[in-house]
Amino acid sequence: MSQKQSLFVLTLFMVSLAANSQVRIVTELSKGWKFEKGQNDQAYQVEFNDKNWENVSVPHDWAIYGPFDKEIDKQTVAIVQNGEEIPTEKTGRTGSLPYIGQGWYRNQFALPDYSPGQKVMIVFEGAMSEPRVFINGKKVGEWNFGYNYFYFDITEHIEAGKKNLLAVQLSNRGLSSRWYPGAGLYRKVQIVVKDQVSIDQWGTYITTPFISSELAKVNIKTKVSGQDARLVTSIINSEGETVATQSSDMPYGKEFDQNLAVDNPKLWSPETPYLYKAVTKLYVGNDLKDETTTRFGIREISYTAAKGFSLNGEVRKFKGVCLHHDLGPLGAAINVAALRRQLRILKDMGCDAIRSSHNMPSIEQLELCDEMGFMFLAESFDEWAKPKVKNGYNRFFNTDSEKDIVNLVHATRNHPSIVMWSSGNEVPDQYGAEGVKRAKWLQEIFHREDPTRPVTVGMDQVKATMASGFGALLDVPGLNYRTHLYEDAYKSFPQGFILGSETASTVSSRGVYKFPVVKGIEKTYADNQSSSYDLEYCSWSNLPEDDFIFEDDKPWVIGQFVWTGFDYLGEPTPYDNFWPSRSSYFGINDLAGLPKDRFYLYRSKWNKKDETLHILPHWNWEGREGQTTPVFVYTNYDSAELFINGKSMGVQKKNSSSPQSRYRLMWMDVKYEPGTLKVIAYDKEGNAAAEKSVITAGKPSKLVLEADRTELDADGRDMSFITVSVVDEKGNPCETANNQLTFSVSGNGTYRAACNGDATSLEQFHLPTMKLFNGKLVVLVQSGNKAGPIKLSVKGSKLKSAELALRAR
């Protein structure tokens, strides 16, 4: 099978222009919201008294403020996809946060530029979950899937010249998720006012069916409402230059079909994420009726048995990670600064692809992936008709799945970052003829709505899909783990390639090291932590090297998506029957976004530009003197020499004696003695190329604050993520310090949250105090709405306090 295409976008942000007045007005409803959790049957009515309700801004997640409680959504279940057969009590599976229940949001909004006769739309980019929407006391619509984008025409319910009341009812059931789903209006809500003669919502579809070094053909299909209209589209490059224009006055039915030529096109890729924009204007006569701007990229994708995956004619393999939708201490509420920070960290690791797991991505995430250069596997469902959890998406699959896919595709198809769709993840429907029919039906819906991209499913029941034909019908056969079946699947499936749609599931806790150092399957300890020697994994999964070997040795493996790029709330495997434990251990980075040791293993393999030289463990082991304490080095160099207090422990060279020896340098017989651990890495000619040391620290003395950004936008949303660490009097990191800290913020900003990355911590993120976890934590400071200085102060018992100056601008 071969699919070649190029493409498109960064979002339909709808902008308005017209000489002196806007023809389309988009208002984001972020402020002025009132919220209450609980049953209020009359809350949609205009006269309802919400005076005592909480004032919130949207995006908003009502559950992230806690408290953590093991009784919340306690599930007695056998997790079939993990190979469990006997039900056991699971605590923390959905994060132990109070997402269950009903919530109401109310907002009174004015439309000062609205004139009777115009069209008014309300657009939601996600609402968790089962939203029911009311305008001025009248129900205007409802949706079921909490991850989907949807909109309603509310024109007939709008009252001109006065404030209109929007009320949204949300209902979250227990036993409805396998991870922390969040709660509330956690993504944008917008009001769109436009002319009756206008461009439809998500009505622009941009593809690039032909690309050469000299020319790219850009096809733009635009659906409109209204008769006798004329469409003028201009393509503008990143420098602001108009490179093509076309005027059309003959639509096919209600759709214009334009083809524009771009000379000497600049192609989009992770390395060069170049973006164009299409400005589309709709006229009746000489009157401008509507205008939209759509960002897109020019790029070509191909999946063939002969070459695997190609981007712009170059064969490459996905170096991807899976990401859940929560943002750690912010919960499910979307924040661009938090998303951008995640992507910067992943970019530094050498990651070039994201899989949204197991949900439809936010528009903001796709926009950033377009801008920063990440390929994207956009996923739709975690369940089809057969349930994984009692109250999951299975309740809606038969009635809603087609319209949910249509909205997913229409809302996001212009993003050049999206190179593949996924119609499901580890669905129980993998077994039997009914599952094959469902897989084919869903894939055909994707093909109908977007013929340019292939479709995959994350399959964990590989033998079943080989026997039934399920895997053979997919455009891209995606295997979740099951590396021992890769060869069989490759021979069985006709596509000629395999995607590691979900890989590794190695578990670790940042800064925690367990002895003796051996491989461990489902290994647990009394402290509910996993060892950061990166040798522990789950019964169904494997270590990173198993996937690296397929990546390196098998041309028919087109890459992988590691589970996961960051820890996430919920699914605390292997401690899901233990308490306390309320977030995952799978992350390459912890819940605070701090890199674990495993980050540097992937970086040494994936980041081809920058030097990597990382030593583990820390070297503070009072009481282990003389005991075996192995030392690992993750580096992009092939060999290195280890020294303890100046004495050589020998040179290690990467070799093929074991999967780990091929990618790690390991000194297994080192005996601990306090002092200096130093490593010198050698290049291929045997010359010393890099050096790093780890020193036994003294007593914790002072705090060190390091911000990812010190200049913030004064928009009330922007954030700085400040890493707080402890050093001794000489400045050496104290990597075992667990002091309790307190935080305060003054000036033109506020304290937002803190996170230490400890999956067992029950401290609430939004309270201004938290313990360090193995010497570090992260504080989130949010900008105010006015420009000016911001100051963060951090204090800790028996530690010199620290301050950091930021600025909102």
* Burial of 684 per CB tally in 10 Å (0-12, 13-18, 19+): exposed
DSSP characters for 596-636? Answer: -HHHHHHHHHH-SSS--EEEES-S--TT-TTSB--EEEEES
With beta carbons less than 8 A apart as the criterion, state whether 320 and 17 touch.
no
* Burial of 404 per CB tally in 10 Å (0-12, 13-18, 19+): buried
Q: Which of 380, 367, 360 is nearest to 438 (CA)?
A: 380
CA distances from residue 291 to 28, 367, 650 in whole angstroms, order as listed: 18, 20, 68
Distance CA 289, CA 135 (A): 26
Distance CA 657, CA 747 (A): 58
Exposure string (b/e) for 131-147, b if CB count within 10 Å is 16 or more? Answer: bbbbbbeeebbebbbbb
Two tokens, residue 89: 């009590």
Distance CA 146, CA 143 (A): 8
* Burial of 317 per CB tally in 10 Å (0-12, 13-18, 19+): buried
For the chain, the straight-line distance linking the first and the last C-alpha, in angstroms and rounded, comes to 52
Distance CA 382, CA 147 (A): 11
Q: Which of 564, 457, 579, 435 is nearest to 506 (CA)?
A: 564
In sequence order, which residues have a C-beta less than 8 Å from that of residue 726 and are 6 or more positions away?
A: 700, 701, 702, 703, 704, 733, 734, 737, 739, 772, 775, 776, 796, 799
Q: Which of 79, 57, 101, 261 is nearest to 179 (CA)?
A: 79
* Amino acid residing at 167: A
In sequence order, which residues have a C-beta less than 8 Å from that of residue 270 and are 6 or more positions away?
A: 352, 353, 373, 374, 375
Two tokens, residue 708: 């990812």
Two tokens, residue 139: 């129900």
Distance CA 554, CA 406 (A): 35
Sheet of strand 308-311, all strands in order from the earlier edge strand to the far edge? 301-304, 308-311, 314-315
Which residues are part of the catalytic machinery?
A: 426, 502
Q: Which of 313, 282, 294, 316 is nearest to 218 (CA)?
A: 294
Q: Which of 696, 546, 538, 532 is nearest to 616 (CA)?
A: 532
DSSP characters for 682-738? Answer: E-TTS-EEEEEEEE---S--EEEEEES-SEE-SSS--EEEEEEEEE-TTS-B-TT--
* φ, ψ (nearest 5 deg) of residue 120: -125, 125
Q: To the nearest 10°, the Cα dihedral for 250, 252, 255, 258?
A: -60
How many residues are listed for the chain in this entry?
A: 809
In sequence order, which residues have a C-beta less than 8 Å from that of residue 74 and are 6 or more positions away?
A: 89, 90, 91
